[in-house]
Amino acid sequence: MIYIYKLLKSPWMIPLVMLTIMAVAFFTGQKQEEDSQGRPVVIYAHPPCGPELMKLYRPVWEEFKRTHPDIDFRVLHITGKYEDKIKIMFAGKVAPDVIFMYPQALPAWADMEALEPLDEYIDKSGEVSRDDYFPAMLETFSYKGKLYGLPKDASATIMFYNVEMFEKYGLEKPQSDWTWQDMMKAARVLTRDINGDGRVDQWALSCPNWWELVWQFGGGILDESGSKCTLLEPKAVAGLEFWAELRNKHGFTPSPESESDIGSGRLFSLGKIGMFFSIYPWVTSMRKECDFRWDIAPMPRGPRARAVTALGSAMAVTCQSKNKAAAFEWVRWMTQRTGMIFLTSVENPSCIELARSRDFMDSPFQPPTKKVAVEALEYVRPPMRHPKHNEIMDALNAELYRALLGTITVRKALENAVPKVDKILQRASKRKQQ
C-alpha cells in the first residue's frame, strides 16, 4: 500500500497516465500508416484555441479533406499545455505527423531531432517555393542552416493606438518613420491624472519588450556562438536603461503590478493606455472589447536600428511521421493562400501573395491600416535562438523586473543576471558535448 501511495504521488505519474490515455484514446487503431482504403494517414495536432477560432479552422480542415481525397487527414485538438503533451507523445513514439510550432520552441525541438527538415521537400515540390513567404519568417523557423517549419501566420510587434485619445489631445497619428523621441513627446501629453487625486491613472503606453530596445540601441542578448550573454555591453545597457526609464523615471507606463494583474491589452481596451505594443492577432480582442476608434502603427525606430520581434507560428512535420510526404502536403497547403484565405480576418498571412492582396488589405475588419502589419515584416528579427530559451529568459526577467520597479539599477540587475545566464549556457554546451 505504501508503494502504491508513493507511486500515485510521484511527479512522473501524471505524465505516464496522460501518455496512456492519449495513446489509447487517440491512437489505438488510428496511428497506422494507411487506412482501410489504402490512403496515407496524416494526424495534425492542433493547439488550444477558443470556440470562435475553432469555427474558423473547421472549414479549413474540411476544405483540405475535400481537395485531398487521397489523404486520410485527421485533427487531434490538444487542450492545455500543448508542448508538454506533444513531448510526452514523442517519448511514447506516438507523435502526430504535423505539429504547430512557435519560434521560441524551435531550437529545442531541432536539438531533440524531433522535426523533419523541409528543404528537400520544397526543392522537389512544384507547388511551393521559398519565394512564396516573407524571408524573415523563413529565417525565423530555420535553425543551423535548415528550415524546420513553413510559416503560417506572420506576426511582428506593432503598436495599437487609441485614435480618439490622440485626437482629443491634438496629437498627430504616429507616422511610419517616427522615432522614440517622437513617441516621448506624445507620451508627455497622454500621461495624465484624470480624476485629480494626484496619481497618474491614464498612461501613454504599455511596457515594450526589453529585448527590442536592446536591438534598437545596437545590442544583443547572446554572442554569435550562443555561448555568452552580451547584455553588459554598453549598447545593450543603454537600451535597457531607456526601457526602464519609461516607467521608473518618466512614469509613461503602468506599474508592473498593474500590467500583471489586469494585463496591458485590457488596460488599453478600457481606455487607460494610449498605445499598446503587441502582435496582429490581438485584433480579435480589440474588435470585441474597445468601444472607441483604434488603429495600428509601427513601433518607434531606435537610435541605431528599427527592429521588432518576429513571432507567428509554423507547421512542422515530425520525424516520427510515417507519411512525411503527405504530411508536408498539408503543411504546404495550410500555409499558402489555399488554407490561409480562411483566416485573414484574424491573422496576417506569411504567404506574401495573400498578405499583399486585396483579400487581406481591403477586408472590412478593423484595423483600417493593415499594411502596417505587413510592412513590419521588412524589419523583424527572430527571437533569441537557444534550446534553453525559457530558462534564460526567466533568469533575465527576474532581475530586470526589479529594475523596472526601480528597486535596483539596470546595471545591477544585469550584474546579477548575466552570470546566471552564462552558467545556463555552459551547462547546455557541456550536455551537448557529452
Share of the chain above pLDDT 70, in %: 92
Mean pLDDT of 408-418: 98
Q: Would you tell me how many other CB atoms lie within 10 Å of the CB of residue 165?
A: 21
Mean pLDDT of 83-103: 94
Mean pLDDT of 54-59: 95
Q: How confident is the model at residue 364 (pLDDT cuts 50, 70, 90)?
A: confident
pLDDT tens per residue, range 24-54? 444 443 467 888 899 999 999 999 988 989 9
Q: What is the pLDDT of residue 242?
A: 97
Q: What is the pLDDT of residue 434?
A: 57
Q: Does the pLDDT value for residue 379 go beyond 60?
A: yes
Mean pLDDT of 385-397: 95
Q: How confident is the model at residue 333 (pLDDT cuts 50, 70, 90)?
A: very high
C-alpha cell recorded at residue 352: 506574401
pLDDT tens per residue, range 133-157? 999 999 999 999 999 999 999 999 9
Q: Does the pLDDT value for residue 56 go beyond 80?
A: yes
- Residue type at 414? L
Q: What is the pLDDT of residue 247?
A: 94
Share of the chain above pLDDT 90, in %: 81
Query: What count of Cα atoms within 13 Å lies in the side-chain half-sphere of residue 156?
Result: 27
Structural domains in the chain plus CATH codes: 25-155+311-381 (3.40.190.10), 158-310+385-433 (3.40.190.10)
Q: Rounded to whole angstroms, how far apart are CA atoms 330 and 335? A: 8
Q: Does the pLDDT value for residue 220 go beyond 50?
A: yes
Inter-residue contact 154 to 349 (CB < 8 Å): yes
Q: Rounded to whole angstroms, how far apart are CA atoms 292 and 268? A: 10
Q: Does the pLDDT value for residue 368 go beyond 90?
A: no
Q: Does the pLDDT value for residue 19 go beyond 60?
A: no
Q: Does the pLDDT value for residue 343 go beyond 80?
A: yes
Mean pLDDT of 312-328: 96
Q: Does the pLDDT value for residue 14 go beyond 70?
A: no
Strand, coil or helix: what is 41?
strand
- Residue type at 80? G
Q: Does the pLDDT value for residue 7 go beyond 80?
A: no
72 to 38, 50, 65, 316: CA distances (angstroms): 9, 25, 8, 18
Q: Is the pTM of this model over 0.85?
A: yes
Q: What is the pLDDT of residue 6?
A: 39
Q: Does the pLDDT value for residue 430 go beyond 90?
A: no
Residues 6+ apart with CB under 8 A from 1: none
Q: What is the pLDDT of residue 261?
A: 75
Mean pLDDT of 195-204: 91
Q: What is the pLDDT of residue 432?
A: 66
Residues 6+ apart with CB under 8 A from 222: 228, 229, 230, 384, 385, 386, 425
Mean pLDDT of the chain: 90
Q: How confident is the model at residue 66 (pLDDT cuts 50, 70, 90)?
A: very high
Which residue's entry shows cell 511551393? Answer: 128
